[in-house]
Structure 1
Amino acid sequence: MKLYQNGIKRILDVLISLAGLMVLSPVFLLLILLVPCFFNAPPFFIQKRLGKDGRIFSIIKFRSMTGDTDASGNLLPDEKRTIPFGRFLRKSSLDEIPQFINVLKGDMSLVGPRPMLPFYNGLYSSVQMQRNRVRPGITGLAQVSGRNQISWYTRFRLDVWYVSHVSFWLDMHILLRTFQQWFNGKNVEHTRHIPQEFEGNP
């Protein structure tokens, strides 16, 4: 298991990400051209996220929401900033393609707990903090077990379990389930069944 975590997993991340970018390069280039036309903004959405050992990195996604604000200059709620093209990108998970770049840079892995916003780090319990022991992933055990349809508590419990049981076969199982769910259109739309914002542990 340690051999896999300390070397083989990283090699597979790089090889699969390179292959993914090559196969999806026509879609990638097309979206670079299309996204600015729909959002009147640069194609990429870049945001700070928590990485391994609490390190901050910049996650890269295709833009899927507008930057519309209210009279006070505050961003409108997500549902009011999402246009049909953005919903399509999210439902198809095409907005996630640029994260292969994060994997190649070493910020992320193909499989791991999803990266959270930095302020969440101060809300974790000591057990939940263990999710930061590995690189965050494009997909993960929580994502193939219900995604936004499960509670934060369950999501973090699955993340911590994954960290303690990382293996080649577990990663292959999660990747296979990810492709199956994507192909079947199951649990892929980010905006459905969004749970209440995580505010820490009681």
Structure 2
Amino acid sequence: MEELDFFNEYAAALTDSSIQVNRNISTHNIYFKMKRLFDILFSVIGLIITLPVILIFSILIKLETTGPAFFFQERVGLNGRYFKVIKLRSMRIDAEKNGAQWAAKNDPRVTKVGSFIRKTRIDELPQLWNVLIGDMSLVGPRPERPMFTAKFNEEIPGFIKRLTVKPGLTGWAQINGGYEITPKKKLELDLYYINNVNFYLDLKIILKTIITCITGEGAR
């Protein structure tokens, strides 16, 4: 299946009244400006605080397996723009030798160190850089790979409505369903967030994410 040409098809799709997002994003200018300032402040502080953790686990990854400690992967962001997400590598370097695969529970491709950093979300910490440079926000729908976004949008028309806000380091779908929810349920949860964006909801998601990091709930 060919990947969607998001720069064209995305814009056309949102003109389809059957998949309109029921929200008034245009009236939230102050919210989004303040959110961007918060993203910058939080990501700078977060990178300074977590840098030792990132360095320690990058060394552990290198000691356990060959290959780079960091993993760069193309994702789809706001308005269909592609960007490279940064993560600590949690799988073997040949994890996709047979093509792109959706991560599964107890995935055998995950390394020992990888299992721990996925459970605690430490593998996501480098994405604070993505937040700082504006590819992502602290809170928003998790960004998907182009091929999976195209696939899910074919199976679930309107899936690309998730692209009407910046993708996030964490999101409403993550704290309410983790990694095991279906793409359809993920869309429902993400649309709830998009239609109800506010600082209180963002704070609630951040606090719940901290609890998830401590307990490891929802990891795979």
TM-score range, shorter chain: 0.7 to 0.9
Work out the CA distance in 1 between the residues paired with 2:39 and 2:100.
36
Indicate the SS of the match to 2:75: strand
Partner of 1:115: 143
Indicate the SS of the match to 1:97: helix
Q: How many residues align?
A: 187
Q: Is the 8 A contact 2:119 2:217 kept in 1?
A: no
Partner of 2:161: 130
Partner of 1:55: 81
How large is the RMSD of aligned CA atoms in angstroms? 2.1
Work out the CA distance in 1 between the residues paired with 2:100 and 2:110.
10
| Structure 1 segment 75-154 matched on structure 2, within 5 A | 79-122=107-150, 123-124=152-153, 125-154=156-185
Work out the CA distance in 1 between the residues paired with 2:210 and 2:59.
26
The letter for the 2-side match of 1:21 is L
CA distance 1:161–1:69, shift in 2 (3 Å): closer
- The Cα of 1:185 is off from its aligned counterpart by 2.7
Unaligned runs of 5+ in 1: 192-202
CA distance 1:76–1:161, shift in 2 (3 Å): closer
The letter for the 1-side match of 2:76 is L
Q: Is the 8 A contact 1:127 1:160 kept in 2?
A: no
Bigger RCO (CA 8 Å, 6+ sep): 2
CA distance 1:75–1:154, shift in 2 (3 Å): closer
Q: Does 1:74 align with 2:105?
A: no
Partner of 2:91: 65
Indicate the SS of the match to 1:157: helix
CA distance 1:3–1:28, shift in 2 (3 Å): same
Pick which of 144-153 and 42-51 moved more: 144-153
Measured against aligned partners, the alpha-carbon deviations of 1:112-144 in whole angstroms (never above 9, x if no partner) come to 000001123334255332210111011000000
Work out the CA distance in 2 between the residues paired with 1:48 and 1:76.
12
Unaligned runs of 5+ in 2: 1-26
- The Cα of 1:152 is off from its aligned counterpart by 1.9
CA distance 1:142–1:69, shift in 2 (3 Å): closer
Partner of 1:159: 190
Measured against aligned partners, the alpha-carbon deviations of 1:14-68 in whole angstroms (never above 9, x if no partner) come to 1111111111121122223222222211111100000000000000000011123
Pick which of 176-185 and 14-23 moved more: 176-185
Percent identical residues? 38
Pick which of 109-118 and 146-155 moved more: 146-155
The letter for the 1-side match of 2:98 is N
CA distance 1:184–1:131, shift in 2 (3 Å): same
Partner of 1:171: 202
| Structure 1 segment 175-194 matched on structure 2, within 5 A | 175-187=206-218, 189=219, 191=220
Q: Is the 8 A contact 1:4 1:168 kept in 2?
A: no
| Structure 1 segment 4-19 matched on structure 2, within 5 A | 4-19=30-45
Partner of 1:33: 59
CA distance 1:65–1:169, shift in 2 (3 Å): same
